[in-house]
Structure 1
Amino acid sequence: MPACPGIEDAVWANQRQHEYTPMPRLATVLLALLASTAQCLSQTTDTLKPGSLSQSIQRQHSNRWRELSRFVPLRPSEAPSTATFVTLTDDHIAKDGGILPAVLDSLARQTHLVGISLRNTRITSSAVAGLLPLKNQLQVLDLYGTRIDDKSLDDIGSLVELRELDMGVTRVSSPGLTALTSLKKLRVLELSGRRINDTATTAIGLLPSLVQLSLSGTRVTDKGLAALATLSRLKALGLSGTRIEGSTLDKLAVLPDLACLDLADTDITGDSVGRLSAFRKLKALNLENCPLVVDASTVHLARLTSLQGLVLRKTGFEKTSITGIGLARLATLSQLQHLNLSATRINDEAIVPLTKLKQLRSLDLGLTGLGNAGLVHLAKLPRLESLVVMYQEGFGGTKVTADGLQHLAEHKTLSGLDLTGTKISDADLPKFRAVANLKQLTISGTAITAAGAEKLARQLPGCRIIR
């Protein structure tokens, strides 16, 4: 028997009370947690607001081809006008890198959904499997900047309705790309990153429906180009930032519809530029920051008479970049509508041959030796709509001032003027009355104050002022 049965009974009674009595505080916490979780899931799925598919395609198109995008035919949408596009963020992604089940359920209920962006989210390859229930409707998939690798490629290859696929800056490598050959309707493909090399072009060459292909920033070399000659429908090819030198570019001359070629930031040589003359339908060419494209290279460029857009920004080294001699040769490109000569050795005297380019609509002469006297010649370009004459402190640039605006006073079509960094101030505001027809004026980096910009906006009521 216990020495103190009364106390023992009390302890026993107390133990029984705690053993059998419900725990209201814990239950309350659990209920609150469940309610909070449900609310979070509801808020997460509420953020899945469908957007416009056409606007998304247009935005990606502009980002991919940059200033030459207007010369690349926009992929026509094969989806109905009611088709929608959804952008997912890390809020929709589970800790394991998969897509939250509630989000997948929400996507499955969107009957008009044909496009999904997972750009720069933390998804892993397992997340792609969650999209397989949408394989009969998904046409656009953006996986740029994600952590997917080759394990995801079989699942991606099962999305047989895909027309546009972006796998730039992922962990996907060349050997796994053979899984994509089942995508018979794929029109646009973007791959970038150091894991993509010449081996990739063999698999890509088995996608004959491709219209646009971007391999920018990959390790593709001249050796891999020949495998792309099977892409008979290709209209735009992006090779910027690759190891291309141009020795095999003529292998692609068999592509009948190739209209845009992006070779920016490559080591294409001056002699290799001559191989481009075989491209009879080339409308747009980007040679930005190609150090081996020099003044003498314009002899070859002058033969590309079908060109409508040409980017020569920062070509050649400082003492070999484009001058007036080269520009005189380019005056034969009578169809040219867009020309970027920024950061070249162009000056007022060199500008004169440009007056022969009667179709020119946009011209970038930023960071050149252009001065007010050069504006006299530019005023003779009858269709000019956009002009850039920026100056950058420490780098140099144009000597254009507000006094030069008077030379543009009679121009009928000029609607955009970029004066970034030029030597203008509030004292020059009255001189802007000479360009009253402007729709957009950029004055960033100038001495015009906030108050001055407001006054300028009142002075030019139909003009957007960017400061």
Structure 2
Amino acid sequence: DHRADIYSLGCTFYKLLTGQAPFKQQSQIATILAHREETPPRLSDLIPEIPDTLEELFQSMMKKDPVDRIQTMAEIVEILDRFLGQQNVTSLNESAETHLSESQELMILCRNTILTPPIEVMSTDASTQVQMPQQIVTPKRGLLLLTLALLFSLGTWGVWMYLPHTSETVALSEDLPGVIPVTDPSPEQAKTEREAAVWLLNHECEIVIDGRYEPVTQVQELPEGDFFIREIKFYPQTVTREVMAPLQGLAKLEILHLEDSHVMDDALEPLKGKLSLKTLDLHETGLTNAGLSHISSLVNLTHLSLQKNREITDEGLKALANLKKLSSINLDRLNITDEGITFIKHNPRLDWLNIKDTQITDKSIPLLIKLNRMKNLYLEGSKITDQGIQEIRKAYTGRDPIKY
């Protein structure tokens, strides 16, 4: 199915604009499962200023069901070419320097061909003989050439739009036109990252650094070259502000696991303003309202687990009012009522919500049914009635988000 190629191109699209691979996990198996089961990330989570045109195109390319995806490469070419033209970036078929004499013909050709036509088996007894349909190679090469050229133009546009225009970046762009600058840690930052890594590994933690899937568990496993810490997992322990202090200087920390540790009220203070952080797991950490207050400035968080922290109340959840990019949140077994989850009205991207064993009632149904991206809603043990559950199901035409 040629639409699998469109999905793959969507992954390239994401990598080109964000510098990260979508669905990246610690192992290849976990990554494959994430591709199959998880909701695609949003470009706007990493690039808040991303134009809606590019966000919509990316989401269309990444649909799980091929039927729901954008159907042909020609459509992608047209959208990208039109977008670049609107951004005052010379579109492919207008550029004097990159002009392809056959670009218009390729556009027409793209509309009348599929990317990867099926192989037709010859009607002979030789089962290994195959016959390729005619006129496959030229259309495919032309199509890929045109699409890749547009993606390259988009990538250079994205770098110019969203990377800081420092004198160093400008100089690099002048020396190597069209080359996307690669950001390495400065000597000072590299020192900070390494010192933090050593500290964490000596305090019952494991870390994941950029460019590696497998976690680092011992100091001697650290590479000789410079690196950024992307992910930290604390083994069960008492976590204090002192233990967490080195995290304050980390430039690209994205994922932090503190589950099953005892997190003191001041422990999360070093995370204040940590805009790189996307995932924070705090389930069963003994966290209180005072401790939770420190996460209010983590405005780029997309995944948050507070499960089994019974001292967190409605008052504590007020800290989530500023977190408007959440796509999943676990509130299972918190001491909260309808008043506590009013923050979800600021989270239109929510597609995973657990409010099991809480005091949430039918009063929250109007908020819940406005979450039009919701795919997994866990209500078991809450105070929502059977009638309320049916009302929620009725609101989500074509799918049932309620899970058990």
TM-score range relative to shorter protein: 0.3 to 0.5
* Structure of greater relative contact order (alpha carbons < 8 Å, 6+ residues apart): 2
Normalising by structure 2, we get a TM-score of 0.45
Structure 1 or 2, whichever has the larger Rg, is 1
Q: Larger % of helix: which?
A: 2
Normalising by structure 1, we get a TM-score of 0.40
